[in-house]
Amino acid sequence: MAKIFCIANQKGGVGKTTTTVNLAAALAQIGQRVLMVDLDPQGNATMGSGLDKRALAASVYDVLLESSAVAEAAVIPDRLSQTGAGYAVLGANRELAGAEVELVSEERRERRLRQALTQVDENYDFILIDCPPALSILTLNGLCAAQGVIVPMQCEYFALEGLADLTNTIRQVHARLNPDLRLIGLLRVMFDPRITLQQQVSDQLKAHYGRKVFDAVIPRNVRLAEAPSYGLPGVVFDPAARGSHAFIDFAREMVERGLSE
């Protein structure tokens, strides 16, 4: 059975997509079978994995509206399969923005993704879901389908406050919709140890959340930011980059934690 995790944070631009595609590639590189689901109509995770979002034969939109199965809609991008870090992608594009409205009158609308993923559950070790910012019916589909949430966060002044909102959301979804859901961990991203404030916030995080803070830390690294314009995860684009090493460490940590549970 696959471990299904959402990469979520209600803030935009915090590193959700970068975390999702690089963790997917890093897990694949260390031998895990991975499906990445793009739940953001911006389709950045789709493009960043080397798929043209405008040319998808079927997307997560079709899966949510039950006109396509995951096994039909998910593809391994050619460029990735050549690298040894191949993972399957269930892509998204702007069409997905319409799903919000189209699902309003449907029954069990927040459980569509969960339902669909049960059919491919055995084919993967990890299913990673890139969530859009804000709590929408799309994000709810992600949270209903997952066993856990991975929260990428920058160690900034308001980080702890934002985290309280998110843990509250997780608690509510846990209580009402998905009793399996829990906070897996907090991933410090775009980290710069030379900045005293970041060091302080990082210490506060560890004091409050203890083991929930991943040991791996993702540094601010320009190679990770450049990679999407080449349609590749940083881990594949420049395996030697500091950021890529950090994601491989993170993937190992994820596998180790999974085994010890």
From Mg ion, ligand ADP, none, interface partner of 15 (C-beta below 5 to 8 A by class): ligand ADP
Part in contact with Mg ion (CB under 5 A); list of ranges 41-49, 188-196, 222-230, 248-256: 41-49
Q: Does 17 bind Mg ion (CB under 5 A)?
A: yes
Q: Which is nearer to ligand ADP, 53 or 68 (CB)?
A: 53
From Mg ion, ligand ADP, none, interface partner of 14 (C-beta below 5 to 8 A by class): ligand ADP
Part in contact with Mg ion (CB under 5 A); list of ranges 36-44, 86-94, 194-202, 253-261: 36-44
From ligand ADP, Mg ion, none, interface partner of 77 (C-beta below 5 to 8 A by class): none
Q: Does 18 bind Mg ion (CB under 5 A)?
A: no
With CA atoms as reference, report the closest residue to 99 among 43, 60, 61. Answer: 61
Q: Least distance from C-beta 183 to Mg ion, angstroms?
A: 19
Two tokens at 172?
């509510």
E-only strand ranges, the chain: 3-7, 34-38, 88-90, 126-130, 148-153, 182-191, 213-219
The DSSP 8-state label assigned to residue 229 in this structure reads G
Query: What strand order describes the sheet that includes 148-153?
Result: 88-90, 34-38, 126-130, 3-7, 148-153, 182-191, 213-219
From ligand ADP, Mg ion, none, interface partner of 47 (C-beta below 5 to 8 A by class): none
Interface with ligand ADP (CB under 6 A): 12-18, 44, 189-190, 218, 220-221, 224-225, 243
The DSSP 8-state label assigned to residue 147 in this structure reads S
Which residue is nearest to Mg ion, using beta carbons? 17
Q: Least distance from C-beta 133 to Mg ion, angstroms?
A: 7
**Which DSSP string do the residues of 21-63 spell out, in sequence order?**
HHHHHHHHHTT--EEEEE--TT-HHHHTTT--GGG-SS-HHHH
Q: Least distance from C-beta 14 to Mg ion, angstroms?
A: 9
Q: Least distance from C-beta 163 to ligand ADP, angstroms?
A: 14
10 Å CB burial of residue 79 (0-12, 13-18, 19+) is middle
* Neighbouring residues of 26: CB distance < 8 A, sequence distance ≥ 6: 85, 235, 244, 247, 248, 250, 251
Q: Which is nearer to Mg ion, 36 or 255 (CB)?
A: 36
Q: Which is nearer to Mg ion, 134 or 195 (CB)?
A: 134
From ligand ADP, Mg ion, none, interface partner of 221 (C-beta below 5 to 8 A by class): ligand ADP
